[in-house]
A and B are shown apart, each in its own frame.
Chain A
Amino acid sequence: MAADPHSLVAPYALHALDDEEGRTFEEHLAVCERCRRELAGLREAASKLAYGAAGPNPPPELKERILAQARGERENVASLPARRRSWTAPLAAAAGIAAAVAIGLGVWTATRSSESSALAKVLAQPGATPIPMGDRGVVAVAPNGDAALAVRVPPAPSGKTYEAWVIRDGKATPAGTFAGSDGTTVVEVKGHVPRGSVVAVTVERSGGVSRPTQKPLAATEAVS
């Protein structure tokens, strides 16, 4: 059946497509900005229907089971496939392709300081915004220029390091080095991340360098 793929957006938002129709639509979605926009709105409406079914509390063991399994997976994170396919995959791919397209992530305002992780600290500042680095991770930037990045990169090969950069007006300033890990690495971005700048990560020789010698393996859009 050769239906107009645009017309599948509402059934897709309701998960009312069979597997094959779903795949067809996802392929379309990866190349159709209009459908991605429309899907975002319809999906939001559809998810509100969940509240119409609100009922009894789940048994308390359910939470314990979920957390125990999550903990176990983190401990075995190296054995997990690096990329898991989910319904978000086409969108993530599309976001990667359309890196120049501004992505509105909604309201990411946190209200209170959390002392613990570099990322939590930045996100806890009022007006802090997370900016995706393609599908590699995210940089959280606070209005005062404080920033932290969470990026998924494997341990750097021997003799190499990852180096973060703040790039503004074509000029790259070193913003710290880090080793990478089997999970997600969270680091503070050294220095100030002003509006209009881009945060990028390259692989450099151990100890870091003063200007990037490699192409970025991850980069944000310009900080707004």
Chain B
Amino acid sequence: MTALMTTPPPAASSRELAHLSDESLLSLVASSDENALAELYDRFGRVAYGLALRILRDDALAQDAVQDAFLAVWRSADRFLAERAKASTWILTLVHRRAVDLVRREDRRRADPLESAPEPTAQTTAEDEATLGFQRRVVQEALRRLPPEQREALELGYYGGLTQSELAERLGQPLGTIKSRMFTGLNRLRDLLAQAGLEESLRA
């Protein structure tokens, strides 16, 4: 029996990577393929940055959160393989976690996290812009269609970085009510996005 090839394998070229699924890219990242990480960043970096900026309201901190998250992807992609999530969910969950950790540490949570994010600027191709703008509208529309108290719980929690207890205090509601608004709100959001038949258009 002959010894087989061992790592590091030569990295795939970026042209080849463009055709791989997000999940396949993550398996390559798990084998320390730097080009695969670059490709994942090209796919999710902008959404990640937009999210971090919305939560942190500070460019330098938002960049820190995105950098931390992508390095966590780099270091722990092998863990992802043991899970049942989509790659996009896994990556954006890491970004969200970092941003929320940072906003709590910096105590930068704003009184009004409901204010929406800045409009996209025209730094990319018209096609990218159109796709992202469309996805953004889809999600915002789904949020608008939630009962206001559910939308509020999701927005203050997800974009505002508030804990459930802080939310309960702020809204003057029992903790159980907050939990159930979050639960029902997330389930309804999922249904609304699915109903709109827009699952495929969103990477997450």
Interface residues of B in 150-204 (CB under 8 A from A): 154, 157-159, 161-165, 167, 175-176, 178-180, 182-183, 185-187, 189-190, 193, 202, 204
Does B145 reach chain A (CB closer than 8 Å)? Answer: no
Q: Tell me if B16 is interfacial: C-beta within 8 Å of chain A.
A: yes
Report if B61 contacts A (CB, 8 A): no
How many residues on B have C-beta within 8 angstroms of the other chain's C-beta atoms? 111
Residues in B whose Cβ lies below 8 Å from that of A92: 79, 82-83
A83 to B38, CA, bound (A): 23
> What residues of A have a CB within 8 angstroms of the CB of B97 in the complex?
15, 87
B residues sitting closer than 8 Å to A (CB atoms) are 1-13, 16-17, 19-21, 23-24, 27-28, 30-34, 37-38, 41-42, 45-51, 53-55, 62-63, 66-67, 70-72, 74-76, 78-86, 88-90, 92-97, 100, 116-121, 123-124, 132-133, 135-136, 138-140, 143, 154, 157-159, 161-165, 167, 175-176, 178-180, 182-183, 185-187, 189-190, 193, 202, 204
List chain B residues, Cβ under 8 A from A41.
187, 190
Q: B176 near A187 (CB under 8 angstroms)?
A: no
Task: Given A42-B187, A119-B28, decide whether A137 and B17 contact each other with a Cβ distance below 8 A.
Answer: no
Given contacts A50-B95, A56-B120, A106-B84, contact A178 B164 (CB under 8 A): no
Selected from B12, B50, B154, B175, the residue in CB contact (under 8 A) with A117 is: B12
Q: Which residues on A sit within 8 Å (CB–CB) of B28?
A: 117, 119-120, 123
Closest chain B residue to A161 by CB distance? B3
